[in-house]
Amino acid sequence: MKMLKSGLITLCSVLVTVRANEFSILHTPEAIEFQPSSTIDLRTVKDVFTAALGISVKQDHRWSGMDIKNPFETTEAVVSFIIPGLSSLNFLHAHDYDLLINDNTDNVYDSLLNLISHKYAANNQTTVKVTFKSSEPEVIIK
């Protein structure tokens, strides 16, 4: 599989970047805590986002690097940017984890969108995906 040479920045109460085989947590709310852990795979990143939103994940997909201290104060929104060529953000206080690329970011986004749509079907939620694959960003609103 081609090495991931793009970045995925997630802005919410949890601020995350995925770049060049590294997963970094840049900011979290007090209700979510990240600890040192082993490698995380890209499919599990979807579960981390899902759990941070307060949506249940499968028991066998629990990653030891994240602890939700208060399930009633979870994140309310996730905004992701995929930016090709991003090699480093150089944040000093990030929690960094080795990332196994076993999926692509589009599959992660689609899975997360499906879970959010089911969880909040009655709320008429809007999702926005912005992808920077060329000089012009691609914006998809659902």
- Which distant-in-sequence residues (6+ apart) come within 8 Å of 136 by Cβ? none
**Torsion angle, CA of 39/43/46/50, rounded to 10 degrees?**
-90
- Which distant-in-sequence residues (6+ apart) come within 8 Å of 13 by Cβ? 27, 28, 29, 32, 52, 74, 75, 76
Take residue 98 and report the two structure tokens written for it.
Answer: 């080795």
Task: Of 93, 79, 99, give the one whose Cα is nearest residue 19.
Answer: 99
Q: Is the pLDDT of residue 8 over 50?
A: no
Q: Where are the domains of the chain?
A: 22-120
- What local confidence, expressed as pLDDT, does residue 108 receive? 82
74-125 pLDDT per residue, tens: 776 665 555 556 665 566 667 778 778 788 778 888 888 888 888 777 776 6
Q: SS3 of 112, please?
A: helix
Take residue 93 and report the two structure tokens written for it.
Answer: 């206080």
43-74 pLDDT per residue, tens: 888 888 888 888 887 766 667 888 888 888 87
Handedness of CA 103, 69, 89, 63 (dihedral sign): negative
More confident residue, 1 or 116: 116
Q: Is the pLDDT of residue 13 over 50?
A: no
- What local confidence, expressed as pLDDT, does residue 40 receive? 86
Band of residue 6 on the pLDDT scale cut at 50, 70, 90: very low
